[in-house]
Amino acid sequence: MPEDAAGRSVDPLGLDEAQMRQFGHSVVDRVVDHWLALRDEPVIAMRSVEELTAVLGGPIPRQPSDIDAALELLATTALTNMQRPGHPRFFARVPSPASFAAVLGEWLSTGFNSICTSWLGGSGPTTVETTVVDWLRELMGMPTDTEGILVSGGSMGNVTAIAAARHAGYDGLIYLSDQTHSSIRRGLSVMGWPDDQIRLVPTGADFRWSADAVAAAVAADKASGHRPAIVIASAGTTNTGAVDPLEALADLCAANEIWLHVDGAYGALAALTEPGRVALAGLGRADSLTLDPHKWLFQPYQVGCVLVRGHGLLEACFTMTPEYLRDVEAHGGETEFRNMSLELTRRARSIKIWLTVRAYGLDRIEAAVLRGIELAEVAGRMIEADSFWQLVTPAQLGVVTFVGAGLSDADHTARANALAASGYAVVSTTELGGRTVLRLCTINPLTTEADLAGTLQRLRAG
Ligand SMILES: *Cc1c(COP(=O)(O)O)cnc(C)c1O
């Protein structure tokens, strides 16, 4: 039987100390081996449901079995048949180049089964989360009367912010663009936001809003007796990295008592860098802002953050104190994260961010973000230098889009698919202005110029 020094079992299901250490070390070794081999592995791998189920499925095991064999199966079958979001040639959608210190933070907090729900139940993790949220607030240039919380990702961040704004009285028309992330529409739909209260204001030729177009829509809606309530701006669209005119939108919203929510899930963390701050001017004037540390702060999945101006708005929207939490309430601290989003039981997502910043220091993180911005510019120059390619949108916050001479929509998709199937690199296609384009997202600082050149050359060869 598993035992501590006093002869008591420590694992409720019965591993002993030697097994805990042996399998724990084996997990660390497997993970480090994976990191060492990553560059030479296929960027994405997929097998059929039959093949995978044959290995991973089957009847419920009744009896214990060899843990090492089970770990091996997971490492070689489950966790290899996926995209490698940290591979230097993963350019699709949004990569996630997680840092190792962040993984260590995640493991440590999971090993302690961290909880960040109430002050009584988690004053330590709560302090780490308020610290991390305040760091992020400062980096985003938001004022000190801002509160925030870590959530699963950008989708939850956006819904949390919009719910808080509506609860604070911003109920009426909400303005989106054709480039607004799809999670916002889904969020509005589940919130029961009426379709006729959603205004779509198209972007211009550069796939960003003109502030004049939004102002004109707001003025027309007011003239016809509607209540413009919330504007959703993008700080780096997923498609092109374009940033809406945040300063002008902040002026417009301030003048019309409109809530400005900025979706910076993709791009906001570029504000760690000088060119990012220029591109994102006005970011700090948002009434609420979503950002995604699992995209551009070198964190493994999942962690997003939502920041909201005005202390108490999240609590006003999300507080609940059922009878069985009254003693928790009585010991309430300044921050009760259980009352600031839809989650009650919450793990301490902050630990990995705190450790990352502590371990590497902000300067190194900033340099890594800057490298991601520059790599898209390098790719943009390679594309411009080759007459086969034509830029559709220039490098913006780590994203560049382009098309090939004489290629149809289907050709672009076929070339992206063939490249992924080759295992060498993965790029996305997306649709811009009614046509299919190729898209690179280059936020992994491990990417080399040879990786970019090799990817473009293979796409060109078809
Ligand atoms: C990724 C993304 C989201 C959604 O974030 P998740 O973390 O995937 O939930 C929302 N908005 C933008 C602009 C994004 O790039």
What confidence tens digit (pLDDT) does each residue in 91-106 have?
A: 999 999 999 999 999 9
What's the CA gap between 337 and 375, in Å, rounded? 38
**pLDDT at 198 exceeding the cut of 70:** yes
**pLDDT at 2 exceeding the cut of 80:** no
For the Cβ of 95 lying below 6 angstroms from any atom of ligand 1, the answer is no
φ, ψ (nearest 5 deg) of residue 311: -65, 135
Ligand 1 atom 10 nearest Cα: 154
Using a pLDDT cut of 70, give the percent of the chain over it. 99
Nearest-5° angle of CA 155, CA 157, CA 162? 100
Lowest mean per-residue pLDDT among 8-12, 216-220, 395-399: 8-12
What is the signed CA dihedral for 446, 451, 453, 454, rounded to 10 degrees? -170
- Residue 61: what pLDDT? 96
Quick one: average pLDDT of 305-310? 97
Ligand 1 atom 3 nearest Cα: 154
The residue among 6 and 145 whose pLDDT is bigger is: 145
For the Cβ of 396 lying below 6 angstroms from any atom of ligand 1, the answer is no
**pLDDT at 331 exceeding the cut of 80:** no
Residue the block writes with tokens 């139940």 = 121
- Work out which ligand 1 atom sits closest to the CA atom of 158: 10
For the Cβ of 155 lying below 6 angstroms from any atom of ligand 1, the answer is yes
Lowest mean per-residue pLDDT among 67-81, 214-228, 311-325: 311-325
**pLDDT at 5 exceeding the cut of 80:** no
Cβ proximity of 394 and 380 under 8 Å: yes
Centroid of ligand 1 to alpha carbon of 290 (angstroms): 9
- Residue 324: what pLDDT? 82
- Residue 287: what pLDDT? 98
For the Cβ of 404 lying below 6 angstroms from any atom of ligand 1, the answer is no
Quick one: average pLDDT of 147-163? 98
Centroid of ligand 1 to alpha carbon of 313 (angstroms): 23
For the Cβ of 456 lying below 6 angstroms from any atom of ligand 1, the answer is no
- Residue 3: what pLDDT? 62
For the Cβ of 94 lying below 6 angstroms from any atom of ligand 1, the answer is yes
Question: What angle separates helix 182-190 from helix 154-167, to the nearest 10 degrees?
Answer: 50
Confidence of residue 435 (pLDDT cuts 50, 70, 90): very high
Considering only CA atoms, which of 257, 236, 185, 277 is closest in space to residue 441? 236
For the Cβ of 183 lying below 6 angstroms from any atom of ligand 1, the answer is yes
What's the CA gap between 273 and 347, in Å, rounded? 30
Instruction: Choose which residue among 155, 160, 190 to substitute to test ligand 1 binding: the one with the highest number of ligand atoms within 8 A of its C-beta.
Output: 155
Quick one: average pLDDT of 350-375? 98
Quick one: average pLDDT of 349-360? 98
For the Cβ of 238 lying below 6 angstroms from any atom of ligand 1, the answer is yes
Quick one: average pLDDT of 286-304? 98
Kindly give the residue spans of alpha helices, DSSP state H, lying in 149-280.
154-167, 182-190, 211-223, 246-255, 274-279
What's the CA gap between 245 and 241, in Å, rounded? 13
Confidence of residue 316 (pLDDT cuts 50, 70, 90): very high
Quick one: average pLDDT of 105-126? 97
What's the CA gap between 151 and 169, in Å, rounded? 23
Centroid of ligand 1 to alpha carbon of 154 (angstroms): 4
Mean pLDDT (the chain, rounded)? 96
Quick one: average pLDDT of 131-158? 98
Amino acid 355 reads L
Quick one: average pLDDT of 75-83? 96
Please state, as a whole number, how many other Cβ atoms lie within 10 Å of the Cβ of residue 372. Answer: 24
Confidence of residue 6 (pLDDT cuts 50, 70, 90): confident
Cβ proximity of 119 and 334 under 8 Å: yes
- Residue 392: what pLDDT? 98
Confidence of residue 333 (pLDDT cuts 50, 70, 90): confident
What's the CA gap between 19 and 3, in Å, rounded? 11
- Residue 218: what pLDDT? 98
**pLDDT at 315 exceeding the cut of 70:** yes
Centroid of ligand 1 to alpha carbon of 155 (angstroms): 6
Quick one: average pLDDT of 443-449? 98
Instruction: Choose which residue among 238, 280, 292, 294 to substitute to test ligand 1 binding: the one with the highest number of ligand atoms within 8 A of its C-beta.
Output: 292
CA atoms within a 13 Å half-sphere pointing along the CA-CB vector of 306: 27
Confidence of residue 87 (pLDDT cuts 50, 70, 90): very high
Centroid of ligand 1 to alpha carbon of 441 (angstroms): 14
Q: How many helices (H) and strands (E) does the chain have?
A: 17, 11
Q: Is 401 exposed, middle or buried (0-12, 13-18, 19+ CB in 10 A)?
A: buried
Rounded to a whole number of angstroms, the CA Rg of the chain reads 24
